[in-house]
A and B are shown apart, each in its own frame.
Chain A
Amino acid sequence: MTEQQAIAGTDLLQLDRGVGDFHYKMEYAYDAGAGLSEQTIDYICEAKNDPEWLRDFRKRALATFLREPLPTHWASKQLAELDFSQIRYYLAHGQKAGRTWEDVPEEMKRTFERLGVPEQERKFLAGVEAQFDSEAAYSNMKEALRDQGVIFVGSTEGLHKHPEIFRKWFGKVIPTGDNKFAALNSAVFSGGSFIYIPPGVKLSHPLQAYFRINAESFGQFERTLIIADEGSEVTYMEGCTAPRFDTATLHSAVVELVALPGAKIQYITVQNWSPNVFNLVTKRGMAMENSEIRWIDCNIGSRLTMKYPAVILRGRKARGEVLSIALANNGQHQDTGAKMIHLADETTSNIIAKSISIGEGRSSYRGLVKIPNHLKGCRNNTECDALLINTSSRTDTYPAITLRGNRSSVQHEASVSKISAEQIFYMQQRGLPEAEAMSLSVNGFVNDLVREFPMEYSVELKRLIDLEMEGSVG
């Protein structure tokens, strides 16, 4: 069997919500309890043995979080339903991740086996980190990469063992005060990855993180920092699942990427959250001279997702790209988009966003492209396409492009297409069940974009779309 075949035959991230909808009763050795205060921060700092600078950092972030209003005025009123006093901010079994699956506590190991993580690791991954609630249960990387100086560890280990790299970049791409949820993450973050790729090292296989929420009324706040040194290349992918609970689950991550001159970072997210999850994530990359940052972001499920991956194009000839797909089914709101901040000459950016709204589902695109006056030779292309399946869906586009001066160029296209009951009937008349007819339309709609994805992920995405359509037909 070729490697490609092996990959195609494996469910890449196992994000099937049905498969993910289970949880184990856990005895947590560490539990910060419900609600958020200075004591919660102290509890987390003690449990994680944080250095003093970090305790201060967290407390300042808490103050910012408490001060900032909820962005209900521009985003969704649904945010007001989040009761921060009911959420549990830190739940862990221990702070040390296993280096082998044998070291991982039984329930966690079984969880990740059910999700297929060890199998994928054996088949095609360069390294895996598997986080269970607040801490990583497992973290490992191929020996050869360690020898080349690649670092792939959890955020806690990163800040303890590699402070000279960690502190240089941590919170620099996304400052604490960037937005209310970035502040929240900065206050209580735990888990996530710290990755450093030395100059010239090009990873041929992806590094993967799997974020698993097990507990009810829980908030997961992983923090990821990836630094690709000069001329290096890395693909990182993340998957997430959570069981379905009646109460709200909060997922609020911060991801910072730094691409040093000539480096390439590709960050792939395919997530399929259960419908009680509030997914409020800040993702931003800084691209230095001649480097490239590419976000591939697929959001399926959740109650409300707010996510606008960004690239700050800081060095000459830097390139930024966001390819995003959002699918909002009944009772879901996907508020997604992209930001490109051009700060140097000859920087280019490309945004292609496709959203699908089904039934009562709602999706919005929010973009921001800034090219200041003094720059020359910059280019941006923005394309947002919406597909509405049946009439009650809605979609909004807020493209916000600011181009000053005439030495740069932007191109913007937007389209809305609809799949009506009449079209579904037509396809059914040819023998396709309703769910399949919808899948076919949705896959047709995202097809040209998915073709840009690494092959493995397009297979996974297609499968998720099929599942989601089956669910929507009831």
Chain B
Amino acid sequence: MSLQICDLHARIVERAILRGISLEIRPGETHAIMGPNGSGKSTLSKVLAGHPDYEVTQGSVVLDGVSLLEREPDERARMGLFLAFQYPCEIPGVSIANFLRAATQARLPEGESLSVTDFYQKLYHEMDALGMQRTFSSRPLNSGFSGGEKKRAEILQMAMLQPRYAVLDETDSGLDIDALKVVAGGVNRLRGPEAGLLIITHYQRLLDYISPDFVHVMVAGRIVQSGGPELALELEKRGYGFLEERYGSSEVSPLAGAGTPG
């Protein structure tokens, strides 16, 4: 049982972005990925989720023994993979409640239908916990939401859908300090022996609330260093400069060189 990424290579329009990623996330574990801008962190999350723009050229991803890469994005989601997007897009006309109802219904076996009262009970419970007004549930998903509201809505969706493996792409960015605590609380509630988490972040401050079991550093499409929580602290102090010198970056992204956190 795990989300196992093995020697994953992926490109977009002829440009190699991921250049051999290997990583295994077991239920109960929390991994963090850090790395300079443009190093390929979001690309990894989208490739896992099955975004059609990216082409996998090598490697495999196996979720609890089932190969993932040839499946449609929605199948992957129903198999238990969740992605909290770095830039969640707006879904006009579809309210949070209706959207989550449809998504929850999609996970039920054929012929079974959702109990509406149970659904709303759970929805309101999670919204309360995330400090979201209940009336928010009738707003069109992400439409006109502030940056922080979008991130909360991502966590709300995660809480409702109870994934086995969740990838959180910079869910902490754009949050004020109180929101950060609330969101971290939401993530911590999902943690447990059943769920594996992959947290992409630039900042130690999130990791103060969600202490990861493992920290990985991605540079130029590869994981160049892995360690325990202390690695994040070291990066915060030293920046990525020393790693980039060693593992290169400009051939992958012209922007990556400028990408120090902060």
Contact assessment for A428 and B93 in the assembled complex, using a CB-CB cutoff below 8 Å: no
Distance from A418 Cβ to chain B, minimum over Cβ atoms (Å): 9
Distance from B79 Cβ to chain A, minimum over Cβ atoms (Å): 9
In the complex, per-residue mask of A437-453: 1 if CB is within 8 Å of any chain B CB, else 0: 10011001101000000
In the complex, per-residue mask of A419-458: 1 if CB is within 8 Å of any chain B CB, else 0: 0111101111111111011001100110100000000000
- Given contacts A444-B92, A444-B98, whether A429 and B52 have CB atoms under 8 Å apart is no
* Of B7-15, B102-110, B195-203, B216-224, the one with at least 4 CB within 8 A of chain A: B102-110
Q: Tell me which residues across on chain A come within 8 A of B95, comparing CB atoms.
A: 444
Which residue of chain B lies nearest to A430 when distances are taken between CB atoms in the complex? B103
Contact assessment for A441 and B91 in the assembled complex, using a CB-CB cutoff below 8 Å: yes
Q: Tell me which residues across on chain B come within 8 A of A434, comparing CB atoms.
A: 72, 74
Complex: how many Å from CA A66 to CA B209?
80
- Given contacts A425-B51, A425-B52, A431-B74, whether A436 and B102 have CB atoms under 8 Å apart is yes
- Is A392 engaged at the interface, CB distance under 8 Å to the other chain? no
Contact assessment for B94 and A441 in the assembled complex, using a CB-CB cutoff below 8 Å: yes
Q: Tell me which residues across on chain A come within 8 A of B94, comparing CB atoms.
A: 440-441, 444
Contact assessment for B88 and A426 in the assembled complex, using a CB-CB cutoff below 8 Å: yes
- Is A417 engaged at the interface, CB distance under 8 Å to the other chain? yes
Complex: how many Å from CA A286 to CA B76?
56
Complex: how many Å from CA A39 to CA B25?
80
- Given contacts A421-B52, A444-B98, whether A430 and B157 have CB atoms under 8 Å apart is yes
Distance from A115 Cβ to chain B, minimum over Cβ atoms (Å): 26
Most chain A beta-carbon neighbours within 10 Å: one of B88, B89, B107: B89
- Is B161 engaged at the interface, CB distance under 8 Å to the other chain? yes
Q: Tell me which residues across on chain B come within 8 A of A417, comparing CB atoms.
A: 92-93
Complex: how many Å from CA A433 to CA B82?
15
Q: Tell me which residues across on chain A come within 8 A of B191, comparing CB atoms.
A: none
Q: Tell me which residues across on chain B come within 8 A of A425, comparing CB atoms.
A: 49, 51-52, 73
Complex: how many Å from CA A417 to CA B51?
22
Contact assessment for A431 and B77 in the assembled complex, using a CB-CB cutoff below 8 Å: yes
Contact assessment for A428 and B77 in the assembled complex, using a CB-CB cutoff below 8 Å: yes
- Given contacts A431-B78, A440-B102, whether A426 and B85 have CB atoms under 8 Å apart is yes
Residues in A357-391 with C-beta less than 8 Å from chain B? 387
Which residue of chain A lies nearest to B87 when distances are taken between CB atoms in the complex? A422
Distance from B149 Cβ to chain A, minimum over Cβ atoms (Å): 16
Q: Tell me which residues across on chain A come within 8 A of B161, comparing CB atoms.
A: 430-431
| Contact among A422, A428, A444 for B74, CB-based, below 8 A | A428
Complex: how many Å from CA A445 to CA B94?
8
| Contact among A387, A421, A433, A440 for B99, CB-based, below 8 A | A440
Contact assessment for A432 and B91 in the assembled complex, using a CB-CB cutoff below 8 Å: no
Which residue of chain A lies nearest to B95 when distances are taken between CB atoms in the complex? A444
Q: Tell me which residues across on chain B come within 8 A of A441, comparing CB atoms.
A: 91-94
- The secondary structure that dominates the A interface is helix
- Is B83 engaged at the interface, CB distance under 8 Å to the other chain? yes
Most chain B beta-carbon neighbours within 10 Å: one of A421, A430, A445: A430
Contact assessment for B83 and A429 in the assembled complex, using a CB-CB cutoff below 8 Å: yes
CB within 8 Å: A-B pair count? 78
Distance from A5 Cβ to chain B, minimum over Cβ atoms (Å): 15
Complex: how many Å from CA A387 to CA B107?
28
In the complex, per-residue mask of B37-56: 1 if CB is within 8 Å of any chain A CB, else 0: 00000000000011110000
Complex: how many Å from CA A421 to CA B46?
14
Q: Tell me which residues across on chain B come within 8 A of A436, comparing CB atoms.
A: 102, 106
- Given contacts A417-B92, A447-B93, whether A429 and B77 have CB atoms under 8 Å apart is yes
Distance from B78 Cβ to chain A, minimum over Cβ atoms (Å): 5
Q: Tell me which residues across on chain A come within 8 A of B76, comparing CB atoms.
A: 429
| Contact among A422, A428, A430, A445 for B92, CB-based, below 8 A | A445
Q: Tell me which residues across on chain B come within 8 A of A432, comparing CB atoms.
A: 74, 102-103, 106
- Is B28 engaged at the interface, CB distance under 8 Å to the other chain? no
In the complex, per-residue mask of B156-186: 1 if CB is within 8 Å of any chain A CB, else 0: 0100010000000000000000000000000
Contact assessment for A431 and B106 in the assembled complex, using a CB-CB cutoff below 8 Å: yes
- Is B259 engaged at the interface, CB distance under 8 Å to the other chain? no
Complex: how many Å from CA A423 to CA B91?
7
Complex: how many Å from CA A300 to CA B107?
30
| Contact among B72, B73, B93, B100 for A444, CB-based, below 8 A | B93
Which residue of chain A lies nearest to B53 when distances are taken between CB atoms in the complex? A421
- Is B148 engaged at the interface, CB distance under 8 Å to the other chain? no
Complex: how many Å from CA A422 to CA B142?
14
Contact assessment for A426 and B157 in the assembled complex, using a CB-CB cutoff below 8 Å: no
Contact assessment for B91 and A426 in the assembled complex, using a CB-CB cutoff below 8 Å: yes
Contact assessment for B74 and A423 in the assembled complex, using a CB-CB cutoff below 8 Å: no
Distance from A124 Cβ to chain B, minimum over Cβ atoms (Å): 24
Complex: how many Å from CA A420 to CA B107?
24
Complex: how many Å from CA A140 to CA B83?
58
- Is B229 engaged at the interface, CB distance under 8 Å to the other chain? no
In the complex, per-residue mask of B113-146: 1 if CB is within 8 Å of any chain A CB, else 0: 0000000000000000000000000001000000
Complex: how many Å from CA A224 to CA B222?
71
Contact assessment for A430 and B77 in the assembled complex, using a CB-CB cutoff below 8 Å: yes
Complex: how many Å from CA A427 to CA B91?
9
Complex: how many Å from CA A422 to CA B161?
21
Distance from A390 Cβ to chain B, minimum over Cβ atoms (Å): 12
Contact assessment for B102 and A433 in the assembled complex, using a CB-CB cutoff below 8 Å: no
Distance from B170 Cβ to chain A, minimum over Cβ atoms (Å): 16
Distance from A439 Cβ to chain B, minimum over Cβ atoms (Å): 9
- Complex A-B, nearest 4 residue pairs according to Cβ-Cβ distance, in ascending order: A444-B93, A428-B73, A444-B94, A431-B77
By a beta-carbon cutoff of 8 Å, the part of chain B in contact with chain A is: 49-52, 72-74, 76-78, 82-83, 85, 88-95, 98-100, 102-103, 106-107, 140, 157, 161
Supplied contacts A431-B74, A432-B103, A441-B94, 19 more A-B pairs, CB within 8 Å: A421-B52, A422-B89, A423-B89, A425-B49, A425-B52, A426-B88, A428-B73, A429-B50, A429-B77, A429-B83, A429-B85, A430-B77, A430-B99, A431-B77, A433-B74, A434-B72, A444-B93, A444-B140, A445-B92
A-B contact pairs, 29 of them (CB 8 A): A421-B52, A422-B89, A423-B91, A425-B51, A425-B73, A426-B88, A427-B99, A428-B73, A428-B74, A428-B77, A429-B49, A429-B74, A430-B103, A430-B161, A431-B77, A431-B103, A432-B74, A432-B102, A432-B106, A433-B74, A433-B106, A436-B106, A440-B98, A441-B93, A441-B94, A444-B95, A444-B98, A444-B140, A445-B93
